[in-house]
Chains A and B, each alone.
Chain A
């Protein structure tokens, strides 16, 4: 199975500051078609997860441009510029290269 390892944030993050969440995969997620099958989700307290970024760097419909994804085949970063109160929650990375699909353990974001 592909293991997804997420880093922690130095919580709480001051409102208006930027935050970067790291994710590492145990296998390259770069497919032969040129796409990197790494997704990011946010789960706000008491809610279902919601898609933020897919294919490593493509923002989902309706997602603020304060969110951006980048990386290589195995090392990825989700950057949130100018964090706001509504960004509070747990962020998960997820690989879709192969079954079984796997998620990172989650990174909690708190705002000061």
Chain B
């Protein structure tokens, strides 16, 4: 069974950074790209970027190029996203999601990141 298990909710200070994780199981981690999606409260889905776990190659949406950093650890089958210089605009739920050719077939449960002083 394919599972994407994400880390727990985070409460962080403005200006700080946070690193959230997505542990994959039930498939060969390096065979599928991992994508990340943002959802602000009561709002829609926004694509952040993706990583190829096999070689670390990344692609980002323009607006997230200086905000998000995607990495992957093949030894632990875990993808990570670090968000920097956090503001209230970054308060959101962040999903990791696996791509199968050209659609997202499995999603993590989401991580709620709250930016507040």
A interface residues (Cβ-Cβ under 8 A, vs B): 35, 37, 39, 41, 43, 48-51, 54-55, 60, 92, 94, 96, 99-106
A105 to B35, CA, bound (A): 19
Contacts of B46 in A (CB 8 A): 103
Name the one of A54, A99, A101, A106 contacting B44, with C-beta atoms under 8 angstroms: A106
B interface residues (Cβ-Cβ under 8 A, vs A): 35, 44-47, 59, 61-62, 95, 97, 102-105, 107-110
Contacts of A100 in B (CB 8 A): 47, 61-62
Do A49 and B107 touch across chains, with their CB atoms under 8 A apart?
yes
Do A101 and B47 touch across chains, with their CB atoms under 8 A apart?
yes
Name the one of A39, A99, A104 contacting B103, with C-beta atoms under 8 angstroms: A39
Q: Which residue of B lies closest to A90 (CB)?
A: B44
* Interface SS of chain A: loop
Do A49 and B47 touch across chains, with their CB atoms under 8 A apart?
no
Q: 6 new A-B pairs (CB below 8 Å) besides A41-B104, A100-B61?
A: A39-B103, A43-B45, A49-B107, A51-B105, A55-B102, A92-B44
A43 to B97, CA, bound (A): 14
A37 to B104, CA, bound (A): 12
Report the minimum CB–CB distance from A72 to chain B (whole Å).
18
Contacts of A35 in B (CB 8 A): 102
Do A96 and B107 touch across chains, with their CB atoms under 8 A apart?
no
A35 to B59, CA, bound (A): 23
Contacts of B110 in A (CB 8 A): 48
Report the minimum CB–CB distance from A69 to chain B (whole Å).
12
A50 to B59, CA, bound (A): 23
Contacts of A99 in B (CB 8 A): 59, 61
Report the minimum CB–CB distance from A22 to chain B (whole Å).
16
Report the minimum CB–CB distance from A48 to chain B (whole Å).
4
